[in-house]
């Protein structure tokens, strides 16, 4: 088979739509559901991300995609009790691939609502059971255990999209797309991201421990499949904040850093102790917590969210937040291109960044290095730009 019909393009009025390969057979099989154009875009970008994470780290990998950018990505490293509570998986026995997805989804649980999931491993019952309580549009994976597949087929009243990807598929070296009737071609972005990419350390602080190197790799591979401009924060084997598709790099940094702040604060003892009414969905809890953590939340919004609690929580003070941020040591910050102004470094430092990766090559490089030195950061110049459009 070389072609699949798609119900419509980005929007319902964009018909007809199809998916096809020019040469060879279709490497993708639809096991359930009727994928949309956007489902395919998310699935194919997410698949590339998890495939590269698996190759680079040797660990099971997962990505949660929304609108052709990752809400989160991670590898399967065990969760501590605070993360288990924050991700709503307390008391569950999770396989490594299920842990990878819990982490990927947990990077930004509000944005991940209705995500498309990719995993690098065989989907097992543990992952299928975890997905049962999450609002998700679909999944792409290399294989499925029979029981896991049957459970997934019942999701969304039988409409859950399930794709099987040929793990051995290798695309052509040159890719093309049509824009306004004009075809554009380029060499596929086959840049390899591993520890050697971070060898050029330009700051006074120079040591990068193994855990930080892993997180630099995770953050930078994530940027490779994130709409530019893009910034990614990572910690503990997972993405904790992504800023995508902004015209200004500082806006990317502020967006990603705000998400990283929220990720950390969701693990604060006062947040974990919040008491919700019985029967609330995970999504309702996530949105309520997000509102209470936002600086710009209005009293009208708070009044609405307070109805979800049996005991009204007290908002964290600025001092409590700052103190809690200090408990996270070794956060990674990666940029898909050079950093043009030190305000990016200042904002990254505010949420505990210790390791920075950027392309380098700006006239502002000396000032950026000086800023990193002032904060005791380790900064690497990769010499690699990773714009993605």
Marked catalytic residue, from 22, 157, 170, 389: 389
* 67 assigned to active site: yes
Q: Per-10-residue mean pLDDT for the chain, 389 residues long? A: 85 91 90 94 97 97 96 97 95 96 96 96 97 95 98 96 96 92 94 96 98 98 96 98 95 97 96 91 91 83 81 86 94 97 96 96 96 98 96
* 66 assigned to active site: yes
Q: What CA–CA distance (Å, rounded) separates 106 from 85?
A: 11
* 5 assigned to active site: no
Paired residues of 311 in beta bridges: 275
> Is residue 228 within 8 Å of 245, Cβ to Cβ?
yes
Marked catalytic residue, from 67, 92, 270, 315: 67
Marked catalytic residue, from 66, 88, 259, 268: 66
Marked catalytic residue, from 32, 45, 229, 344: 229
Using left for φ > 0, alpha for ψ between -120 and 50, and beta otherwise, residue 145 falls in beta
Q: What is the predicted pLDDT for the residue at 7?
A: 86
Q: What CA–CA distance (Å, rounded) separates 64 from 356?
A: 23
* 282 assigned to active site: no
For residue 315, count other CB atoms closer than 10 A to its CB.
14
Q: What is the predicted pLDDT for the residue at 1?
A: 59
Q: What CA–CA distance (Å, rounded) separates 221 from 47?
A: 12
Q: What is the predicted pLDDT for the residue at 227?
A: 95
Ordered structural domains, the chain, with CATH: 3-165 (3.40.140.20), 189-265+324-381 (3.40.140.20), 274-315 (1.10.287.440)
Q: What is the predicted pLDDT for the residue at 22?
A: 85
Q: Residue 263: which of 83, 74, 77, 76 has the closest Cα?
A: 83
What is the pTM assigned to this prediction?
Answer: 0.95
Q: Residue 118: which of 225, 10, 209, 15 has the closest Cα?
A: 225
């Amino acid at each position: 088979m070389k072609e699949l019909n798609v119900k419509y393009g980005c929007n319902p009025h964009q018909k007809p739509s199809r998916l096809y390969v020019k040469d060879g057979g279709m490497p993708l099989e639809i096991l359930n559901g009727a994928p949309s154009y956007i489902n395919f875009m998310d699935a194919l970008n997410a698949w590339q991300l998890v495939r590269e994470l698996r190759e680079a780290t040797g660990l099971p990998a997962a990505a949660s995609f929304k609108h052709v950018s990752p809400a989160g990505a991670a590898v399967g490293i065990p969760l501590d009790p605070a993360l288990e509570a924050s991700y709503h998986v307390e008391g569950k026995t999770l396989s490594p691939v299920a842990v990878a997805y819990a982490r990927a989804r947990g990077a930004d649980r509000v944005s991940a609502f209705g995500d498309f999931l990719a995993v690098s491993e065989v989907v097992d019952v543990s992952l299928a059971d975890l997905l049962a309580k999450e609002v998700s549009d679909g999944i792409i994976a290399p294989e499925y255990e029979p029981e896991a597949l049957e459970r997934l087929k019942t999701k969304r009243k039988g409409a859950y999209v399930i794709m099987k990807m040929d793990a051995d598929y290798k695309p052509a070296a040159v890719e093309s797309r049509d824009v306004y009737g004009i075809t554009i071609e380029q060499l596929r972005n086959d840049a390899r991201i591993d520890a050697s990419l971070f060898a050029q350390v330009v700051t006074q602080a120079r040591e990068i421990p193994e855990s930080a190197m892993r997180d630099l790799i995770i953050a930078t591979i994530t940027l490779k499949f994130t709409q530019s401009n893009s910034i990614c924060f990572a910690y503990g084997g997972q993405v904790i904040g992504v800023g995508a598709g902004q015209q200004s790099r500082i806006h990317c940094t502020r967006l990603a850093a705000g998400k990283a702040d929220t990720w950390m604060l969701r693990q604060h003892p006062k947040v974990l102790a919040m008491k919700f009414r019985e029967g609330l969905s995970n999504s309702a809890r996530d949105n309520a917590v997000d509102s209470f953590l936002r600086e710009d939340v209005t009293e009208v919004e708070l009044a609405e969210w307070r109805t979800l609690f049996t005991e009204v929580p007290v908002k964290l003070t600025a001092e409590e937040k700052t103190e809690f941020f200090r408990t996270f040591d070794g956060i990674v910050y990666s940029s898909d291109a050079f950093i043009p102004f030190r305000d990016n470094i200042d904002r990254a430092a505010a949420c505990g960044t210790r390791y920075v990766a950027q392309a380098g090559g700006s006239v502002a490089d000396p000032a950026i290095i000086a800023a990193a030195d002032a904060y005791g950061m380790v900064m690497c110049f990769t010499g690699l730009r990773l714009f993605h459009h």
